[in-house]
A and B are shown apart, each in its own frame.
Chain A
Amino acid sequence: MYSFTRRRLIVVLLLTSVLLLTLDRSESGLVGGVKDAFGVVFRPVERFANVVSRPLSNVWRGVLDYSDMRKENLALKDLLVKQEGAAIAATASVREAQELLALNGLPTLAGIDSVTAQVVGQSPSNFTQTFELNRGKSSGIRVGMTVTNGAGLVGKITGVTLERSVVMLATDPEYAMSVKVGACTRANTTTTAVLQTSTTLATDGSSTSDTMVPGDGWTTPVTTVAPSTTTTTSTTSTTTTVLQRATTTTIKGFTPFATTLPPIPGGGGATQITVPESGVLLPRETGAMEGQGIDRLPVIRFIQASSRLGDLCAGVPVVTAGGSQSLAPADLVVGTVSRIVTRSGTSGPLLEVELAANLGSLNFVRVLLYQPATEIPQ
């Protein structure tokens, strides 16, 4: 049987917990202040414990992770070689894009200052997915700022003290972000003929010389020549990648956009040219990406499978949507769509996102000193 004291104790503890939870959920500064004060006392003890326990941690890691580490190291070296060439091409493209955005007076990532910080701790909980960084308020970091690494989006700052900050990972169930996702741009690599027509001058002076990239509406160029003209036609075979919705341009000798990929190691030296035209720049749909917890990929909701957007397929890139209410600046790489779950009714498909950043092995990260409007204290 419960005694009066027991009941009173339970009630007091319950009420205290409820009070603490209420204070926390009402975002009272009191909780933050108490945590900061506790941190001042606790940090030296934690540092000491870290020094004492490090050998044991290293032994644990050495025993369990050594073979995996070796395999991973070899795989990463291989991957690095492949990525180097692509990274150079990508850097050039990003620079070009930023210059274009700057020319049009649009905000770019290049205009946002950032702070590099090291991951010094991980959440000891089995439920929350957070990391601790060795930089805080003194470096200009504030709650709500976006955290990235070399690969892409990592998460956002949810707590800051003077010298430390806490990052909530993008996979945490409480994390949500507006993102943009495009439709597939399936490239058809076809060997096409480029017709080259050279014309000698006619006696009346009328002449036509044209070179066209074949497409859906490709037609033989009209050549008006006088009967006395001698025409020589030669056909050159070339490998051109024409995207599905390519249309014929009528501007002579103009290629709207061209990217030359670096040669693939061991690819036999073949070079392919991708020639998407302005019509190929498909519209992108905006959705909400939400974390799903440990061991589960984030998902994107509220995407409408419309004819305007085209087909959705795995592998298309996902970038942040940006905007005045968004938690991150626009066009920050998030990852790629790994799976599409079709749902009935008007709920639209659900897209699983494979994050570009490897959240399992974070060391140094970049905190963008961009505080979203929604996170600035009123």
Chain B
Amino acid sequence: MIHNRKNIAITIVALLTVALAAITGCDKGYDCELDNTSYDNIAFYTIEDGKEEAYIYQSPLTVSLMVNGEESVMINHVMNTDRVSLPMSYTQERDTVIFRYDDGLCDSLYIDHTNTPYYQSMECGTLMFHKLEGLKSTNVWIEDAAIVNDIVNFEGHENIKIYFYK
């Protein structure tokens, strides 16, 4: 008799546990991205005595993209910055980034990339990922530039390093 009660008690506890989980614990769903554009993250560095150091660009800096033949400002007169994040074209294979310095000079950064639409889910829709294929720059204040992570997605990795002249 005691054994019967024990079995039934175990059963009730098991059912209640599962039911409680069903009622209180919602399905683990998707975390949709707020927009479907991923950004390439460009970080600033300088070389000091042969050693790489993070570089904070203190003067006003304006960063633009060449959009359909015209310069389109993405970041206007930002100060004390050590990185910028920029959208990439869904269809073009080369983006041109223009860095305008406060001394009136500018540098251009040419980013070659492929574009991959990514279907996430019915609810979240489609995202756009990119793969960096190549990089070139002018050398007014930019000494060099390098790809450090060629996948541009929503994980926020540093994709490009720009080395400024000190």
Q: Do A and B come from one complex?
A: no
- Which B residues have a C-beta under 8 Å from some C-beta of A? none
Residues of A within 8 A of B (CB): none
